Amino acid sequence: MLDLLVSTLIQGLIYALVSFGVYITYSILDFPDLSVDGSFPLGAAVTAVLLTNGCNPYLTLLAALCMGALAGLFTGFIHVKLHVRDLLAGIITMTALFSINLQIAGSNLTVERAVDTIFTAGPTMALFGGLSLTYRKLIVALIITLLVKLLLDAFFATKAGLLLRAVGDNAFLVTSLAKDKGNVKLAGLVISNALVALGGALVCHETRSFSATMGTGQVVFGLATVIIGVALFRRLSFVKGTTAVVVGSILYKLCIAVALDLGLPPNMMKLITAVLFLLVLVASGRKGEEIIHA
């Protein structure tokens, strides 16, 4: 049972990065960004290739961030500059990224055990070498997720962060402040997809593998975790949205872990995810466009 809880915490913390990205696009920007399903495996693909070619494990995280940011920039450019509807812009990017990911890493790529990841590299071993690999993964995932959360909280308190929030709530307010709402939205998409790609990179480090189909359903997962977190802390105004998202990610992963532990076959994972998402929607009373403001 302890192993199950620790494993769930690791997964929940790593995938919370994906949830942060979805939180920015769906809850803050009011933008249904389906490119998440492409930028997640993009981060993993870049990471897998760099690791197998001897790149510093920590630098692969920066590379994944940059590639995810480019994906978000592409989506934003299509929507803001070419005036394509938000949903279609995300679909176009997601479709394009599927082929790009195949070109980068093929359909599957495994990182050999002899190759160091951020969980086994020198600095990590120097600090936490006395712990087992599982607990090193837990600590590193906790540190990275907590750092990203604090940075997001600090950003949302700045003028740029407040403008980002205003775009989703009242775009006319942004215009009245002599700011280009399109550029603000574009910046939000860049940040969102960068975080999603970072989540993909961490998954690659954790599993030592990449699969071209690993991004399927990440939007659904992100939406579910956001809704779970918001529903739990709806009446607690002092709880930040980023905190709610992390808790939602952990709880969602716990539900999936329990389902698998009870004997449900792994090839039913996507069905389990879809059913859980439906249950979350029904239980929280959120439907259709209400998802966006969860």
pLDDT of residue 256: 83
Tell me the C-alpha to C-alpha distance, in Å, between residue 264 and each of 1, 236, 257, 275, 291.
17, 35, 10, 13, 28
Given its phi and psi angles, is residue 65 left (phi above 0), alpha (psi -120 to 50 degrees) or beta?
alpha
pLDDT of residue 294: 43
pLDDT of residue 104: 95
pLDDT of residue 288: 44
pLDDT of residue 174: 63
Tokens encoding 177:
């402040």
With respect to residue 269, please indicate whether it lies within any of the assigned structural domains: no
Q: What is the torsional sign of CA 185, 189, 195, 198?
A: negative
Give the rounded distance of the alpha carbon of 171 from its chain centre.
Answer: 25
pLDDT of residue 159: 87
pLDDT of residue 170: 63
> Which residue numbers in the chain have pLDDT < 70?
168-179, 284-294
With respect to residue 102, please indicate whether it lies within any of the assigned structural domains: yes
Provide CB contacts within 8 A for 211, sequence distance 6+: 41, 44, 107, 108
User: To the nearest whole number, what is the mean pLDDT of the chain?
Assistant: 88
Find the helix or strand (DSSP H, E) in which 202 lies: helix 181-207
Domain count, the chain: 1
Find the helix or strand (DSSP H, E) in which 185 lies: helix 181-207
With respect to residue 221, please indicate whether it lies within any of the assigned structural domains: no
> Could you read off the pLDDT of 104-162 as tens digits, one per residue?
999 999 999 999 999 999 899 999 888 999 999 999 999 999 999 999 999 999 988 88
Please tell me the distance from the alpha carbon of residue 75 to that of residue 67, in angstroms, as a whole number: 13
Which domain range does residue 178 map to? 2-215
> Could you read off the pLDDT of 16-32 as tens digits, one per residue?
999 999 999 998 888 88
Please tell me the distance from the alpha carbon of residue 116 to that of residue 255, in angstroms, as a whole number: 31
Q: Alpha helices, DSSP H only, in 23-56?
A: 36-52
With respect to residue 22, please indicate whether it lies within any of the assigned structural domains: yes
Give me the residue label for tokens 């389990």.
Answer: 272
Provide CB contacts within 8 A for 188, sequence distance 6+: 24, 25, 28, 29, 31, 164, 167
